[in-house]
A and B are shown apart, each in its own frame.
Chain A
Amino acid sequence: MYQISNIPHGSTYVSTLKDPSLVADIEFKDVTKLYGDVRAVDGMSLTIERGSFFSFLGPSGCGKTTSLRLIAGFEHPTQGGVFIGGKSVIGVPPHKRPVNMVFQHYALFPHMTVAENIGYGLRQRTPRPSKPEMARQIDEMLEMVQMSGFRSRRVWEMSGGQQQRVALARALINRPTVLLLDEPLAALDRKLRRDMQIELQTLQRDVGITFILVTHDQEEALSMSDRICIMRDGKIAQSGSPQDLYDRPVNRYVADFVGKTNFISGNVSRVNGTAVSIISERGQEFSANPSAGTQPFNVGGHANIAVRPELIVIGASTASTEDMHTDVALKGRIKNQIFLGEHTEYLVATDGIGDVLVLSPKHMEHSNGGFAPGDTVTIGWKNERALALVD
């Protein structure tokens, strides 16, 4: 794999950022964007720190692209304020904003060569840099994205990954303080995508500017970002570090979006400071830690208990809670087994709570001998590791 971020020695690449301390680079203050009756963005307030890798994550139509376009200046908020570097940018047209964008399908100019595409931003400057100066900067960018041999290629003579690199170089040559990326990897195959994710991350660290990524791929967001904003119908469902979102989701929507989770839903039977209990549809009671969400749990109200697959222990059909060191023990039958190398993933059909996904680490497989589809087993977990969530 080649690295995108081989910034040449003696490179003059410096972002326009002078004070790298953690200050707000982008700020939304109660931003609403309406398209007719559609609330594409609905009362969003958020702060994106300078120099961070930030992602908007969410299902199709939740307003990710709209948020990005509000920052780029292609759309203007119906209500609220957008700030870049502390200054309001309401009324500032896109060509006067210190941000650049990598478009979803790259939007490279088809009538220009790779070098002309990359140099486009320089040619818009007044005063325009001299020819040799432009050539030097273009070469530097080409080298940075490992595309030096492609100077005079046409856009359609390149693969998706190569086009993506050119789009990146074109956006970075203006040395923006913020780089916006709208699903830049969506068109690439799995392998290339993985490579590019790593390259983007390294690049971001090297150039030190704020990257704002839009994606609906949770794995991508989790692996690349410092902070993630999960959106739902134009609103922020939760925003925080990947670890926060994974370990401390505030509701079922977020838990479901980030990583794989087993849910048990039912009505709340008891609430105290450290535990919430629910009665499942089959009448069984389960307890868990309450989540840090803002909505309270009310006895009788609907709630969910989430248990991550890796927190579930799997044992022989005769095993008890004492044997497994768990609070819960449920009988089940293995429906499916997928070997994943370091882990083995089981799908266990239980009577009480339906199908449960279990991720069993290698050392467990060694100690209990592993299981095969059709085997009857017992699964269990500790209540303190499970999380009670509102919808």
Chain B
Amino acid sequence: MTGSKKGLWLTTALLAPTTLWFLVMLILPLVVVVIFSFGDRAPTGGYAAAFTFDQYANLASRLKAFTNTLTYAPLGTLMTLLVAYPLAYYLAVKVDERWKLLLLVLVIVPFWTSLLIRTYAWIFILGGRGIPSLLAMIGFEDVRLINTSGAVLVGMIYGYLPLMVFPIFVSLEKLDKRLLEASSDLGGSPFRTFIQVTLPLSMPGMVTGCMLVFILLMGEFLIPAFLGGGKIFFIGNALVDLFLQSRNWPFGSALAVTLVIIMLVMVTLYMRLTTGSKTERDQSVM
């Protein structure tokens, strides 16, 4: 008996640091933000204790930021997927073993500098002295790329490409090549083999990649601010504005809480959608 008591004590002792870390790092900040969101703005900015739903009632004033985020984040995720898949496929399937590692490193190299600097580079590339000036030389005058929604999407794809490439690469790399041979043996053309075997079996990688990129894009503020010319506002930009400029912490908190809720709902739906069908079929066997 003492043994099990001792075991329980030991378990508690061992779990305590993890629990504490979890509380301090994850739950506490969230609790603070939730409390703030029901407060008032202090006259000089910041937070004044109160219990009011005013901040939430005011959310509609930032509707544009919500609609922007909710169109650009899914669209950006989808486009990143479309660009990343062929790249990951090429790296995992087509490239010779000798070059694989080098090319993989090249995919991450941009991550060694901050997104800020990389986005600046795009301002130059898409700006007047970049691609448009080249286009002008071959006769296409006055093409405007920077400060358009296209520029924002390009920035998003570029910024998060590696996060999408890696999980897809991993799932393609561990795909059993004999399954492809089996498909071909049974009469599947290369294209049909890709659609029926490769694509579904790389689904886990695509799901992970999309999730990562989508969550990060929902909170993005740098890319729209730099490449959208201040015309395309995300919730992230609204938060920067509210917390740093106008110092309206409670309203900012309400926005942040709403963003978290939206994300939770969307991610849950997404998970249901991508894994649900499989579990359902599994259960039908029982």
Contact = CB atoms under 8 A, between A and B. Distances in A.
B142 interface: no
Contact of B285 (A108, A124, A154, A170): A154
Contact of A124 (B186, B200, B284): B186
Range of interface residues on chain B? 20 to 34
B52 interface: no
Contacts, number: 66
A174 B184 CA distance: 13
Contacts of B184: 74, 93-95
Nearest to B193: A95
A240 interface: no
Contact of B281 (A74, A94, A101, A152): A152
Interface string B178-203: 11011111111100100011001100
Contacts of A111: 200-201
A131 interface: no
A10 B183 CA distance: 30
Given A109-B197, A152-B284, A152-B285, A170 B186 contact: yes
A128 to B, nearest CB: 11
Contacts of A108: 182
A103 interface: yes
Nearest to A72: B185
A157 interface: yes
Interface in A68-97: 72, 74, 93-96
Contacts of A170: 186
Q: Give the residue among B184, B187, B201, B285 with the most A Cβ atoms within 10 A.
A: B187
Given A120-B186, A174-B186, A174-B187, A107 B179 contact: yes
A103 B182 contact: yes
Contacts of A93: 184
Range of interface residues on chain A? 20 to 34
B185 A113 contact: no
A100 interface: yes
B73 to A, nearest CB: 29
Contacts of B192: 124
B197 A107 contact: no
Given A111-B200, A154-B282, A157-B285, A121 B181 contact: no
Nearest to B192: A124
B176 interface: yes
A113 B281 contact: yes
Nearest to A94: B184
Contacts of B200: 111
B203 to A, nearest CB: 8
Nearest to B201: A111
Contacts of A152: 281, 284-285
Interface string A96-139: 10011101010111110100000011011100000000000000
A191 B181 CA distance: 30
Contacts of A325: none
Nearest to A152: B285
A109 B182 contact: yes
Given A110-B201, A111-B201, A124-B192, A153 B185 contact: no
A65 to B, nearest CB: 12
B187 A95 contact: yes
A103 B187 contact: no
B13 to A, nearest CB: 39
Nearest to B186: A121
Contacts of B188: 95, 120, 124
A103 B184 CA distance: 12
Nearest to B189: A95
Contacts of A171: 185-186
A123 B187 CA distance: 9
Interface in B135-188: 176, 178-179, 181-188
B171 to A, nearest CB: 12
Contacts of B189: 95, 124
Contacts of A96: 187
Nearest to A124: B187
Contacts of B281: 113, 152
A120 B183 contact: yes
Given A107-B176, A109-B197, A101 B284 contact: no
Given A103-B178, A105-B178, A109-B197, A94 B185 contact: yes
Contact of A100 (B178, B185, B197): B185
Contacts of B186: 95, 100, 120-121, 124, 170-171, 174
Interface in A12-54: none
Interface in A162-177: 170-171, 174
B198 to A, nearest CB: 11
Interface of A: 72, 74, 93-96, 99-101, 103, 105, 107-111, 113, 120-121, 123-125, 152-154, 157, 170-171, 174
Interface of B: 176, 178-179, 181-189, 192, 196-197, 200-201, 281-282, 284-285
29 contacts: A72-B181, A72-B185, A93-B184, A94-B185, A95-B184, A95-B189, A96-B187, A99-B185, A100-B186, A101-B185, A105-B178, A107-B178, A107-B179, A107-B181, A108-B182, A109-B179, A109-B183, A111-B200, A111-B201, A113-B281, A120-B183, A120-B196, A123-B196, A124-B188, A125-B187, A152-B284, A153-B285, A170-B186, A171-B185
7 closest Cβ contacts across the A-B interface? A124-B187, A107-B182, A121-B186, A107-B178, A94-B184, A95-B184, A124-B188
